[in-house]
């Protein structure tokens, strides 16, 4: 999605409608600065306001996202392309989150090991050593819980039996089993078919065409 192109398109249709930024802002109940941000390609109108904006500009959301007026015949094609583009964006975003999460997990384990090694090899009273080890373990556990939550909320898990895609609950994942050696898969009970089987991570929900 090209924000700059979309911005230019908004300017063009707004002018076609003989509206100033202020007039449009007033009708949408937002500041004219927001409009100018969109038009400069610095931000996108958020989903909540997109429909109202399109209605005022006499275009549809698809045209807004494509930054051009679409003739009827190519409408479906363009809609599909926009959906794909959106999926690609979500996918690459989720991929980044998961990679970052992996790096942070690795660093967390390294820091834990360093603290434990330090506690073992540096001369100190037994009680202090035990406290440090216990605190490090608590830190590692908290860290693990946060990480699991990030993995859980990024993308979806797909049941290999019935292909149902969903975001599992924390408990489901916590008590499930990770197939670490086989990639990002998790053994859980499927809320749809109730079978316990491997669930594969998918980065975006696959939209079913009817
Ligand atoms: Zn299932």
Number of helices (H), then strands (E), in the chain? 8, 5
CA 11 – ligand 1 centroid, Å: 48
Confidence of residue 192 (pLDDT cuts 50, 70, 90): very high
- Asked if the 3-70 domain carries CATH number 1.10.15.40, the reply is no
Token pair recorded at residue 16: 């076609």
- 8 A C-beta contact, residue 196 and residue 189: yes
- Output the CA 161–ligand 1 centroid distance in Å: 5
19-34 tens-digit pLDDT:
999 999 999 999 999 9
Please give the distance, rounded to the nearest whole angstrom, from the Cα atom of residue 197 to the centre of ligand 1. Answer: 8
Q: Is the pLDDT of residue 199 over 60?
A: yes
Q: What is the greatest pairwise CA distance in the chain?
A: 79
User: 189: CA distance to ligand 1 center in Å?
Assistant: 8
pLDDT at 183 over 80: no
* Phi, psi angle pair for 2, to nearest 5°: -95, 105
Question: For the chain, which residues make up each domain, given as ranges?
Answer: 3-70, 95-153, 155-210
What's the pLDDT tens digit per position in 82-136? Answer: 888 888 888 889 999 999 998 998 999 999 999 999 999 998 899 999 999 999 9
């Amino acid at each position: 999605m090209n924000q700059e192109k979309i911005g230019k398109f908004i300017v063009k249709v707004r002018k076609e409608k003989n509206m100033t930024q202020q007039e449009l802002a007033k009708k949408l109940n937002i500041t004219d600065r927001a409009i100018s941000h969109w038009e400069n390609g610095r931000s996108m109108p958020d989903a909540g306001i997109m429909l109202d904006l399109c209605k005022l500009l006499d275009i549809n959301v698809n045209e807004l996202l494509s930054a051009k007026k679409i003739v009827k015949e190519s409408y479906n094609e363009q809609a599909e392309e926009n959906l794909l583009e959106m999926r690609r964006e979500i996918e690459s975003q989720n991929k980044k989150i998961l990679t970052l999460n992996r790096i942070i997990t690795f660093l967390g384990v390294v820091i834990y090991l360093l603290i434990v090694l330090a506690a073992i090899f540096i001369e100190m009273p037994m009680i202090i050593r035990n406290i440090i080890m216990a605190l490090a373990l608590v830190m590692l556990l908290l860290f693990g819980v946060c990480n699991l939550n990030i993995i859980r909320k990024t993308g979806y898990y797909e049941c290999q039996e019935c292909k149902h895609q969903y975001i599992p609950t924390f408990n489901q994942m916590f008590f499930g089993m990770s197939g670490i050696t086989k990639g990002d898969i998790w053994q859980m009970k499927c809320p749809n078919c109730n079978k316990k089987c491997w669930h594969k991570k998918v980065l975006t929900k696959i939209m079913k065409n009817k």
